[in-house]
Amino acid sequence: MNNVIINDRFWSGKQKLLVSTLIPYQYSALNDEIVGVEPSHAIENFKIAAGLSKDKFYGCIFQDSDVGKWIEAASYALSIKKDKKLESKIDKIVSYMQLAQQEDGYLNTYYICHPEIKRFSNIVHGHELYCAGHLLQGAIAYYKVSKKDKMLNILKKYIDLIIKTFGNNDNQIKASPGHPEIEIALMELYELSKEKKYLDLTNFFISVRGEKPNWFESEEAFINAEKRYFDLSYNQAHKSIYEQEIADGHAVRALYLSAGAAALAKESNNTKLYEVLKNNFNNTINKRMYITSAFGSQGYAERFTVDYDLPSDRAYAETCASIAMIFFAQKMFEIQPLHIYSEVIEKALYNTVLAGLSLDGTKFFYVNPLKVIPIVSKYRQDMSFIQVRRQAWFGCACCPPNIARILGSLNKYIYVVKDDIYINLLIASTYNFNNNQIKLKCSIPNSKSISLTILKAMREKIYLRIPKWVDKVIVKKDEHISYYQDKDYLCLYDIKDKANIVLCFSFTPKIIYSNSRVSNEVALSYGPFIYALEEVDNVSDLSSLMIDIRKKIKIKKEKELNGYVSLIAEGFIKTNNELYSYHKPQLTKTILKFIPYHLWANRDEGEMSVFVNYK
């Protein structure tokens, strides 16, 4: 991460927002300083567990995880801009952790504050392992940026206790985490330390899933759950990992599990596991993914349902699920550099992830529907989870710090180094490596010109991804470099000192047709952005609009909302005042304006729709 510097017109602004607003705002939220929102109490809980406060634990059972994610995001912010005051805030929280940690290494504020509840007695819903994973990721990120190892040592001691507690021996718990996540963190710790015990624990957590007898079925929390939607598949514990070729259950849990398993497959060279995950990935994106690279179609139990069940107006599409898919796809690419993995990462970043954040960085979406009629979503019980405005915070606030940490770690998704170097995201940046340097200059979609400069000669090839939304690539200029286009990549080779290549990507607005089992309407895209209609730009009843797909779609550069490219299309307003009628509706010509989906709800409250009828 430290070797990649982003200097992109679009994404640099997001990272500056992270440093200037997101990190301070979220720190205030975790300290209960935001007026008018449900208190977090997350940092206070550590002070209570440390004996520094007489208050009582408050919040979700997994409240510790928000602190871990915030520390991880804050560490990335420090790598972007040094800040001693921010560093001291992290150090203060770490001091609470050190005081709160039990003699045997245990660290979870909910159970420390509730000593009457037995530790590790509720694996299915207790979230102890989930919280440990997020705290560990925060510790690793902070160590990499600051070289301070206090938090890392605290978490390593806790992980040693978990290693002692979980396993196949008679005196151990033979169970996988109810909420996968620690698997990702353990693999990061293994990559950092190369200590095999972390790899072994990950392998245990992955391989014990689906084994009989299943530990969850003996736990009170599972026994008393409503089984239709909270059965073993909810926790991905219904089958062996080698039989799970369909994304099932809680969407975030399923994708976190897949990300951890992919990291394990990579480090252990487990080709069998990779092939299973590959089938799972393909099924997910081809049958269970929203057009915005969002996941989870049912609000109740936050889960996957069945193939092609992707309702727009009741989409749960949790922000965390898209972020989990980014983790999954990145690890899969590191095993086998397939174009589709990067396509999904790009679509998730530019659409669902950004939609979860307001332009000012202080409001958030947990749920990301593709169609909203405010009066309906506010009334219907089965849409009670739909918000028509981003929220200042949540009682369950997993998404805001997750957005912060993905924006802060964006650097590591641009370049992937295997035997050769892959450039997967068209984000203007500088990559320094082995006394060499790659400069990528671009500004998608405002400018279609892309240049790549390499400081010194190199024997490795560079593969520049050609996105599916690009119609044609024209090489305008190339010096000290050779190239050929290999399907999804432009391959650069025979690279000499001061090599330079200039490209022009030709691309136009695209009409996207859905499988008929999803929708009989169309959506629009331009570059990596999916577009949406918003009431403020059109009419009050978006369902009355039809786009004329025979006519050319125009692009227009706008000044509002930090500047963006809108799409202008010709179409019709369909008028039928009767509830049901034998008469064909009247069509009146009109102009439709579409904005990037991630920008919706930054202006007046109103309807929004990604899909539109067509003629």
Q: Which residues pair with 594 in a beta bridge?
A: 533, 567
| Catalytic residue (one of 128, 183, 267, 302) | 302
Number of neighbours of residue 172 by Cβ within 10 angstroms:
13
Q: Are 334 and 289 in contact, with CB atoms under 8 Å apart?
A: no
Q: Which residues pair with 471 in a beta bridge?
A: none
Residues in CB range of 141: below 8 A, 6 or more apart: 71, 72, 75, 76, 405
Residues in CB range of 493: below 8 A, 6 or more apart: 461, 462, 481, 482, 483, 484
Annotated active-site residue 60? The verdict is no
| Catalytic residue (one of 60, 131, 398, 399) | 398
Annotated active-site residue 302? The verdict is yes
Number of neighbours of residue 104 by Cβ within 10 angstroms:
12
Comparing CA positions, the residue from 26, 38, 32 lying closest to residue 396 is 38
Q: Reading across the β-sheet that carries 421-423, which strands appear in turn?
A: 415-417, 421-423, 462-465, 489-493, 482-486
160-167: long-range pairs with CB below 8 Å, 24+: 160/105, 161/104, 161/105, 161/106, 162/129, 162/132, 162/201, 163/197, 163/201, 165/120, 166/201, 166/204, 166/205, 167/204
Comparing CA positions, the residue from 306, 318, 355 lying closest to residue 518 is 306
Cα distance between residue 382 and residue 376, in whole Å = 10
Residues known to be catalytic: 302, 398
